[in-house]
Amino acid sequence: MHDDLFQFLTNNPAITAIFGARIFHEFLPQSNDTYPALTFQLASSNDTAEDMEDNDAQRLVEDRWQMDVIARKSADVINAAKQFDSIFRIFRGTMGAVAVQHIERANESHLGDVTGDKQNRRVSLDYSITFAMN
């Protein structure tokens, strides 16, 4: 799922219109000085039980991905997070080799970080992504 998700995020024109190439796994590189930026990482993953009566049934997996939208100003980060959410949450279909069945926003937290004399605003969004696995 990780590679498929990364490909989706970096190749979706609506998402790159918000973040450009500033989409990173886990955390922001210290060299990054342009905002808004997006970081993503897996927070949890759970498989559903297999259907015992159907040998051809696909196994469903529910992953929780933490997506952090980061910017310098509060208004910028909230605006970027809203835009991203409106694009990402409605997605259904194929993401690389994965058939996404459902995306739901499971949590939203507003967080902040201070690095030296610079403040960063962060909107942390959790998405529960349900997809089929062969």
Partner 1 sequence: MAEQIKLTGLKELDAKLARMGAKAGFKTLRSAMMEASKPMFVAARSNAQSTGSKGFDAGATAAAMGRWTKKIRENRTVLLLGPKNKSKKAVSLWNAKHGTAVKRLNHFHLLEFGSIHGGAQPFLRPAFDAHKVSLARNFGRILAMQIEKAGKR
What mask, x for binding partner 1 by CB under 8 A, covers residues 44 to 83? x-x---------------x-x-x-x-x-------------
CB contact at 8 A, 102 and 92: yes
Cα distance between residue 7 and residue 95, in whole Å: 8
Question: For partner 1, which is the closer residue by CB, 38 or 100?
Answer: 38
CB contact at 8 A, 125 and 108: yes
Binding span for partner 1 by CB under 8 A among 9-17, 21-29, 50-58, 82-90 = 21-29
Size of the site for partner 1 (CB under 8 A): 25
Question: For partner 1, which is the closer residue by CB, 23 or 39?
Answer: 39
119 counts as binding partner 1 under rule CB under 8 A: no
The string over 4-30, giving b where at least 16 C-beta atoms fall within 10 Å of a residue's C-beta and e elsewhere, is ebeebbeebeebeebbeebbbeeebee
